[in-house]
Amino acid sequence: MELAYIPSPSSGVLYLGPVPLRGYAFCIIIGVFVAVWLGNKRWIARGGRAGTVADIAVWAVPFGLIGGRLYHVITDYQLYFSEGRDWVDAFKIWEGGLGIWGAIAFGALGAWIGCRRRGIPLPAYADAIAPGIAFAQAIGRWGNWFNQELYGRATDLPWAVEITSSSDGRVAGTYHPTFLYESLWCVGVALLVIWADRRFKLGHGRAFALYVAAYCAGRFWIEYMRVDEAHHILGLRLNNWTAVLVFLLAVLYIVLSARKRPGREDVVEPGASGGEAASDDEAEAVEKGEEGAPSEKEESSEAEAEHSKDGAGSAKKS
């Protein structure tokens, strides 16, 4: 009896004439669009301007890609700088290899630059885009399926992913689809953040911190299942330790932030409330006009006084 499994693409590249369309890059691009779209809706709902999320993403996305690649190359340097390897491959980002930790760190730096230019607080922006980032990760993980990478231990479960042999030492067989596990986990994280944000009115970066903590919790057990080459410290993969450290930092931030700055901040973006500003100006003008103009009571009193004077004058003349 033939085992059921998820087939892998024979190639991670499709050609549109002479133009190569790489599945890995395609998944990243779709993820970015989804993150920006959802982030824009959430930002507007919080009082921000349409288009701000996309403008800041112009800074955050390139920084995130650079940071993700740097983290991967540094932590897996043996793949590019050991004997028999070509260091030029370190620049071939389209072949796969992005570390989420570096992507988040450098992406946050890019977002901070963009927020500074727009005059808005980074924590408020981060809260708005947090679930979108999780959805983007869920989509981006399917790029690993196209590249037949980041799979787990061998298994004969019906949802196992088929891996074909390759010249770089990949052994044919069926394995745990850890990319699928992480993709589903990220969808759950996004829904959790959306629910918690609505229920508890998370602010001051706490929605983003919740996303980070929830992602790390899932990444720990998923990372533990993976069998690809990685550095180990005290029996655990490097990314397991990173997940634990980042999880603790995110939880600590949530606790301290909730004590110091409870509730959700008001988003005040320059130019976002043009209508309100105009209304305030009009109200101020009306108030000034009312101060300069006599009230109806005063006009009535003055009219009565003048009438009395006229009456008195008439009596004297007669």
Q: What is the pLDDT of residues 206-237, one digit of tens each?
A: 999 999 999 999 999 999 999 888 888 999 99
Residue-number span of the structural domain to which 302 is assigned: 282-317
For residue 105, tell me if it sits in a domain.
yes
Tell whether the model's pLDDT for residue 15 goes beyond 60: yes
For residue 1, tell me if it sits in a domain.
no
Tell whether the model's pLDDT for residue 205 goes beyond 90: yes
Q: Average pLDDT of 9-21?
A: 78
Whole-number pLDDT of residue 301: 52
Whole-number pLDDT of residue 133: 98
Q: How far is CA 20 from the centre of its chain?
A: 29
Please check whether residues 310 and 199 belong to one and the same domain.
no
Condensed to tens digits (0 to 9), the pLDDT of residues 31-46 reads 999 999 999 999 999 9
Please check whether residues 294 and 202 belong to one and the same domain.
no
Q: Average pLDDT of 46-50?
A: 93
Whole-number pLDDT of residue 312: 45
For residue 290, tell me if it sits in a domain.
yes
Whole-number pLDDT of residue 302: 52
What sign does the CA torsion over 202, 203, 206, 207 have? positive
For residue 271, tell me if it sits in a domain.
no
Confidence of residue 1 (pLDDT cuts 50, 70, 90): very low
Query: Residue 159 and residue 152: Cα distance in Å, rounded?
Result: 12
For residue 165, tell me if it sits in a domain.
yes
Please check whether residues 190 and 288 belong to one and the same domain.
no
Please check whether residues 97 and 241 belong to one and the same domain.
yes
Please check whether residues 301 and 253 belong to one and the same domain.
no
For residue 252, tell me if it sits in a domain.
yes
The candidate with the shortest Cα–Cα distance to 97, out of 167, 42, 24, 161, is 24
Please check whether residues 202 and 303 belong to one and the same domain.
no
Condensed to tens digits (0 to 9), the pLDDT of residues 87-129 reads 888 888 877 788 999 999 999 999 999 999 999 999 999 999 9
Q: In total, how many domains does the chain have?
A: 2
Q: Report how far apart the first and last C-alpha atoms of the chain are (Å, whole number).
A: 129
Give this prediction's pTM.
Answer: 0.81
Please check whether residues 149 and 91 belong to one and the same domain.
yes
Of 113-127, 183-197, 275-289, 302-316, the poorest mean pLDDT is in 275-289
Q: CA-CA distances (angstroms) from residue 195 to 10, 105, 112, 253?
A: 39, 25, 26, 19
Please check whether residues 245 and 290 belong to one and the same domain.
no
Contact at 8 Å (CB) between 161 and 174?
A: yes
For residue 207, tell me if it sits in a domain.
yes
Please check whether residues 111 and 17 belong to one and the same domain.
yes
Q: CA-CA distances (angstroms) from residue 61 to 21, 27, 54, 110, 216?
A: 20, 14, 10, 8, 21
